[in-house]
Structure 1
Amino acid sequence: CGLSPEKVLLRLNPRLIVARMTGFRRDGKYAAMAGHDINYIAVSGVLALLGRKNEKPYAPANIMGDFAGGGAMCFMGILLALLAREGSGLGQVVEANMVDGSNYLASMPRLGLRHPIWDRPRGDNLLDGGCPYYDTYETRDGKFMSVGALEPQFFAALLKGLEIDPASLPGPREDRNTWPALADLFTKTFKSKSRAEWEAVFDGTDACCTPVLTYPELERGGFDQRPPVTLKGSPGIAIADGENERPAAEGVGIGIEGEGWVSKGLPPGKDGEEKLAKWMGWMRGRQYDLVDGGLVKVEMGRNPYAKL
């Protein structure tokens, strides 16, 4: 049975938490098949929701299945298992797969299929590109602005910035029959200025209109790299960008004392030996050694170099 969690690992250490993550479910029609992110979200039903009207479904790189539906859901399961162990004293197996994880993340639009918010074909709904005041628009210089002016007060601020008289609109904004004409009006208006000019118009307003920034732009402008979740008592440490230890942005957000990130990125493996000695009492050459940049365990009387 190899290293079966139930038959081997948990019998050796009942407090152990073993996370097991797969792409497809471990049972059912696709269990024995190879796949990638696009396949997992396809059979989960999520991919059918993504894309423009009258176009093929659009896969969002491998963000939805691999990282969010897989890694993040598996990590959440580990945290829940840790909480459960506090009460029971026992570990358990955490099962995660990218099909069910992606499906869970899409709960809102899936439930929306039975509600006017999402009960139309792909690309015809409020939040999937069908609504002209929840969409992206190209600017004169080939860049883009994002618009999310769903509420009346935000929509009014958007019209003010675009210098559009509400009386000139093709009809009430809630009337879906006017959406194509309203989209054309917004398209032509946004094309009249560069993105920088529109940023100057909308920065600091409540129009819910912001630039679509690229990662190269962010990095050239001093990328404000912050933790995904801020823990006030635990400052974060940035990971170095390659070998040049590109300086990371300082600060972790409002209300947090100190710089948060260190001023230089932390190269992978830095201070690893110090941490092993401090946390576990391990010393290089005794409990472990380094081979080809990897940590290997040294067993007493043997030298198997089985990577940890």
Structure 2
Amino acid sequence: MLDGVRIIEIEGLGPGPFAAMLLADLGADVIVVHRKGGGVTPGMPERAVLDRGKRSIALDLKAPEDVATILQLVESADGLIEGFRPGVMEKLGLGPEVCLKANTALVFGRMTGWGQDSPLSHTAGHDLNYISMAGGAWYAGEPGEQPMTPPTLVGDIGGGAMYLAVGMLAAIMKARATGTGTVVDAAIYDGTAHMMNLMMTLRQSGGFPTPRGQGLLDGPHWSRTYRCADGGHIGVQCLEPKFYAIFLDILGLGDDPEFLDQFNRDSWPELTARLAAIFSSRPRDDWATTFAGSDACVAPVLSPEEAMAHPMNAARQAWREVDGTLQAAPAPRFSGQAAWLPGAIPTRGQHTDDILADLARRSGARP
């Protein structure tokens, strides 16, 4: 889908590399600039899944000749992605003004937590900090308990990487139509707040009040996980009455008057306790088999390894293991496209010579 689109990615952490991987998965030519002589960030592997399908060049961002090389790369690129604190790229001589002078149609993608211009823009932060301030962590927890720390799917990936990718694509479409590039200011804080609009829509009709545990998705006995006899968990979320009725019938509760009043908030805690006792009586996979193929909206809570081994994955191939590395296939899928094969994960600087040779050829071809 993105054949012919070129993105220059300045090595970073988390959402920036994820957004670039997403674009590479969709067919873009992504050149990641790894730090020359730089070690791997603690906790990260030498060859990261987030670098799959990309080409790698090793450069020193503080060396004038290497900065000049990046500007040469920018000349033929559709976009650039960076995830430093505001002002760092400018200090390196690679800020938007300089890069857009080299390529007026460039889309300059900036990934931060607090945005380029805010009272907190120059302060440190991580996923939980951004989603907490944006309201995204408010409903992440049981009533009366402190909010839990959700996976970085909410902030770094959902509110950050996905919004950066969408912003890049929108701006590239505009640049190709007008010849004029732009700066994409993607802040995890902004994206997380924007994702709250589904809940704000439910709030309009009273379905998602402020108190935790009172909303349609975070309070009912029919919208939560339950611990099973073997320590596994089962996820239940049968919102619509017709699905809730199927859920009750399978459990033999279809005639229980207490359960029939589905939206009575006062009964939710007691009914949650009753269901907890029921689900704790049998193993997770036993329950999964009981509900399999029904519209009761019940599913087992699986680890990534279990998800790969599940029959659902045999059909969709969403999870793959390549050279011993577990990873998920690209999404979404497109009709008429061949089945995806995992892009190779480069070693740091693997394509440096080839990329520099290509730049030399381009430079030699100029009039």
Q: What TM-score, normalized to structure 2?
A: 0.64
Q: Deviation at 1:42?
A: 1.6
Larger Rg: 1
Partner residue in 2 for 1:162: 251
Question: Is structure 2 residue 107 aligned with structure 1 residue 13?
Answer: no
Q: Deviation at 1:187?
A: 1.3
> Distance in 2 between the 1:240 and 1:170 partners?
43
Q: Give the alignment's Cα RMSD to 1 decimal.
A: 3.5
Q: Deviation at 1:218?
A: 2.4
Q: Secondary structure at the match of 2:125?
A: coil
* Residue correspondences, number: 268
Q: Which residue identity lines up with residue 340 of structure 2 in the other structure?
A: W
Partner residue in 2 for 1:22: 112
Q: Deviations over 1:20-71 (max 9, x none)?
A: 1111122222122111111111211212232111111222122111111111
Q: Secondary structure at the match of 2:164?
A: helix
Q: 1:184 to 1:103 in 2, by over 3 A?
A: same
Q: Deviations over 1:266-303 (max 9, x none)?
A: 43139x99xx8xxxxx9749717xxxxxxxx7799xxx
Partner residue in 1 for 2:291: 202
Once the two structures are superposed, the pairs formed by residues 209-288 of structure 1 within 5 Å of their partners are 209-221=298-310, 224=314, 241=322, 243-244=323-324, 260-262=339-341, 265-269=342-346, 284=354, 287=357
Q: Which residue identity lines up with residue 131 of structure 2 in the other structure?
A: I
> Where does the alignment leave 5 or more consecutive residues of structure 1 unmatched?
229-237, 277-281, 289-296, 301-308
Question: Is structure 2 residue 167 aligned with structure 1 residue 73?
Answer: no
> Percent identity between the aligned chains?
30
> Distance in 2 between the 1:133 and 1:287 partners?
61
Does the aligned pair in 2 maintain the 1:133–1:147 contact within 8 Å?
yes
**For 2:270, which of 164, 181, 195 is the aligned residue?**
181
> Where does the alignment leave 5 or more consecutive residues of structure 2 unmatched?
1-89, 363-367
Does the aligned pair in 2 maintain the 1:24–1:30 contact within 8 Å?
yes
**For 1:141, which of 214, 217, 230 is the aligned residue?**
230
Does the aligned pair in 2 maintain the 1:134–1:147 contact within 8 Å?
yes
Q: Which residue identity lines up with residue 42 of structure 1 in the other structure?
A: S
Which is bigger in relative contact order (C-alpha 8 A, separation at least 6)? Answer: 2
Once the two structures are superposed, the pairs formed by residues 43-192 of structure 1 within 5 Å of their partners are 43-128=133-218, 130-169=219-258, 172-192=261-281
Please, which moves more after superposition, 45-54 or 201-210? 45-54
Q: What TM-score, normalized to structure 1?
A: 0.75
Q: Deviations over 1:119-157 (max 9, x none)?
A: 1411221112x1111111111111111111111111111
> Distance in 2 between the 1:10 and 1:286 partners?
21
> Distance in 2 between the 1:188 and 1:170 partners?
15
